[in-house]
Chains A and B, each alone.
Chain A
Amino acid sequence: MNMHAIQILFLKDLFLSRRYLFGYLVGGIASAAITCLPNPTLNFIGFLLIMTVAIAAGIHMIGMLLLAESTDQTRMFVMSMPVSLLDYSLGKISVVLTTYLIPWSTMLAFCVIATFVVPGAKHGSVVVLPAIFLFLLCGFMIQLVTAVVSESVGWTICVMVGCNVLLNVFLMKFFENPAIVAARKSESVIWDPVVLQLLGVECLVIVAALVAAVFFQTRKRDLI
């Protein structure tokens, strides 16, 4: 493994995605800011915008950094240099993940802080945020594995649609859960076992997806 090559490839892709990354970061902060406004409709719109930014950033970064390199024929240029398949794969997966996590973590942090500083916000609702954001991250990771395995825009979009449908089902069931209803109304932060179990499952899915992405990518014999 050539750490120098991985670092260069990582920085190259980070630079190539800089404009979009900035756009998603600004969009994410603006969406999170809207949720803080003292109006339930605007709160809901802000929440929907956060979901939209997270989903759009995920599919865009996977498409631009992972799938387009094959269709645009730039992969051959990169692979003609002293870079092994492992270097390329690790650089690629880490940069796709990073470019997603930057707006994702910014939105999460903004929402968590807002829960404590916005007048009238219930502190207990903070436990809801990691569960929802980790679910979004799970969806992104599953799309990433699909893109790595299939190298197909079509299949990745199909999985994205499936993940979005699942997200809606998840949100419906999640907000109906009595433990979540109670947490959202509470002034103090209570980590209910239901929430902790959910977080545990989400973390497991994320780790499994990451391992699968690296495993399938490094097992490929031909990249061209």
Chain B
Amino acid sequence: MKATIEDPMVSEWSASLQGVSKTYKHFQLRDINLQLQSGTVVGLIGPNGAGKSTTMRILMGLVNPDSGTVSVFGKPVSSSEGSVKKDIGYFSDDMRLYKPESIGWHMQFVRSLYASWDDTYAKELLDRFGLIERQTIKGLSHGQRVKAMLLLILARKPKLLVLDEPTNGLDPVAKHEILAELMKVVQDETRTILYSSHNTQDVEQISDVITFIDRGQVIASSNRDDFLEGWKRIKLHVQDDWKAPHIPGLKLESEFRNLRVFSCNSVEDDLAARLSASGAVIEAMEPMTLEEIFVSTVIRGREENKS
């Protein structure tokens, strides 16, 4: 499946992965096609071990794919090419700073490698995140460490942000502060963000495009609003001998006595009429949350793969 949302107004791709595969001993990333349009926020949602981090590492050139092509701003990405990374800000939950050194030392180190480093913005972020420049990394909490890392990334003003689970393990206040800062970044329409998480609420809050990944494969990709509008949960009251009509995308989720709960991922205008015509009484037709859509998509995908 190709994770691309075409917009005739925007022709430039910030990043592109085409036919990317990578095999490890116990995991395989298969035929990943992901294109990030400039100025969009793409949310990459997947369960733990789905391949989100590997995909992002391949995009950064930290891991070389076995096959496929990767490019950022039109330039091919590989571990032998460093210059392409000057426009990318990468955050990973697995990334660590040097414990004995201070935040200020790290700022100086990053500044020495980036001509685009904005000192005023860095000071603003220090203040906004409640960080102290001379504080050593060793003494920081997890939330402060994440904020320090984001400060080091954002102050260099990257055109593409690749954020691998930045809100993982954060308390609600720290999470809010980080998402608020990212929302400000998003307002700059020239900047592109690839944001991965298994927390659908965070992704839903900031993403324009959402891509689901499971077991090393992209299983669905669409505009956030299309996802939310295209999926419905339908509660039906039916007779004992009722048989579900064949409607594409309609799937039974649960049943209790004469109550049936379906999910539908391709809601057409005549859906209600077709269900009523089958003899069912529609008790409710409700929108689904992104988390419910994600879970349903993953389960459907796994069932399809089994069959």
Chain A residues with CB under 8 Å of chain B are 2, 5, 8, 12, 16, 72-74, 76-77, 79-87, 220-224
**A184–B64 Cα gap in the complex (Å)?**
56
| Inter-chain contact A80/B85, CB cutoff 8 Å | yes
Given contacts A85-B79, A223-B79, contact A74 B62 (CB under 8 A): no
Closest A residue by C-beta to B53 = A224
B113 contacts the other chain (CB 8 A): yes
| Inter-chain contact A221/B85, CB cutoff 8 Å | no
| Inter-chain contact B62/A77, CB cutoff 8 Å | no
| Inter-chain contact B79/A222, CB cutoff 8 Å | yes
Q: How far is the CB of B142 from chain A (nearest CB, A)?
A: 14
Closest B residue by C-beta to A83 = B82
- Size category of the binding interface on chain B: 20 to 34
Question: Which residues of chain B are near A5, meaning CB under 8 Å?
Answer: 82, 113
Q: How far is the CB of A65 from chain B (nearest CB, A)?
A: 12
**A71–B291 Cα gap in the complex (Å)?**
34
| Inter-chain contact B112/A82, CB cutoff 8 Å | no
Question: Which residues of chain B are near A81, meaning CB under 8 Å?
Answer: 82, 85, 110, 113-114
Closest B residue by C-beta to A218 = B80
| Inter-chain contact A8/B112, CB cutoff 8 Å | yes
**A86–B83 Cα gap in the complex (Å)?**
12
B86 contacts the other chain (CB 8 A): yes
| Inter-chain contact A79/B113, CB cutoff 8 Å | no
Set B63, B82, B92: member contacting A84, Cβ < 8 A: B82
A-B contact pairs, 8 of them (CB 8 A): A2-B82, A5-B82, A12-B109, A16-B100, A80-B60, A81-B82, A81-B113, A222-B63
Chain B residues with CB under 8 Å of chain A are 57, 60, 62-64, 79-86, 88, 90, 92, 94-101, 109-110, 112-114, 149
Set B64, B85, B101: member contacting A82, Cβ < 8 A: B85
**A86–B100 Cα gap in the complex (Å)?**
27
Question: Which residues of chain B are near A85, meaning CB under 8 Å?
Answer: 79-80
Closest B residue by C-beta to A222 = B63
**A83–B85 Cα gap in the complex (Å)?**
8
Question: Which residues of chain B are near A220, meaning CB under 8 Å?
Answer: 79
Q: How far is the CB of B254 from chain A (nearest CB, A)?
A: 42
**A16–B149 Cα gap in the complex (Å)?**
19
Question: Which residues of chain A are near B84, meaning CB under 8 Å?
Answer: 82
Set B80, B85, B149: member contacting A86, Cβ < 8 A: B80
**A16–B112 Cα gap in the complex (Å)?**
16
| Inter-chain contact B85/A74, CB cutoff 8 Å | no
Question: Which residues of chain B are near A77, meaning CB under 8 Å?
Answer: 95-97, 149
| Inter-chain contact B113/A8, CB cutoff 8 Å | yes
12 additional A-B residue pairs with CB within 8 Å, beyond A79-B62, A84-B83? A16-B101, A74-B96, A76-B94, A80-B88, A82-B82, A82-B85, A82-B113, A83-B82, A84-B81, A222-B62, A222-B63, A222-B79
**A5–B97 Cα gap in the complex (Å)?**
18
